[in-house]
Amino acid sequence: MSKKSDLTRERLLDAAGRVASREGYGAFTLEAVAAEAGTSKGGLLYHYASKELLIAGMVERMTHKFETARVEAMALDPAPPGAWTRSFVRATCADQEADLVVASCLIAAIVLNPELLAPLRAQYNVWIRALESDGLPVADAHIARLAVDGLWLTTLIGLPVPSPEQQHHIKERLLDFARASEMPTLSAPANEASGQKATSRTLEKS
């Protein structure tokens, strides 16, 4: 594919993202995207022969954009163990408000055709293998991943989420967790601790 064709496809995907963000899935049509891009519907169909292929292209580009952000984050903090996991946490927690709006539109389409998620599924398999080879206990690495994935999805579907300040603290705790590779030690309640001490003294006397 020529460089000019690549640029045209990028321009069309930009236009599709703007339509999705502004209008939502209900108004996401090939005609609307073509008008936004300043081209004909035929010109759009030359590069994306159907609405489904256009959406698949959007999913693929979002996936690539995230992976680029993750690689950049890892370059800033490459120390093992846990470097890959920390980069995933940082990239997921980055300011992606516009992407969330586009993603909500894409998910509406994916519900109708789950195969549109194929590019993301393939990339996620690559990410999982990297995550599990990051030098951390595998369960710990997955805890960090699932925490930020859960926050992202909660935001995406409009459920209540922690405040921006709380989200920052959550991210920092997860980053610390991915460095220490051990769960934070929680202090036992005072009455429980007293009971344990009393039990210990009883055992010593016996």
- Report the CATH number of the 56-184 domain: 1.10.357
pLDDT at 183: 46
- Confidence check: pLDDT of 162 > 80: yes
Q: Please tell me the class of the 1-49 domain.
A: mainly alpha
**Domain 1-49 identical in fold to domain 56-184:** no
Mean pLDDT of 134-162: 93
Task: Give tens-digit pLDDT for 99-133.
Answer: 776 777 777 777 778 888 888 889 999 999 999 99
Residue 66 CA to its chain's centroid (Å): 7
* Domain boundaries of the chain, sorted by first residue: 1-49, 56-184
Task: For residue 52, give every residue at least 6 positions away whose Cβ sits within 8 Å of its Cβ, in sequence order, or none.
Answer: 109, 113, 116
d(CA 192, CA 68): 48
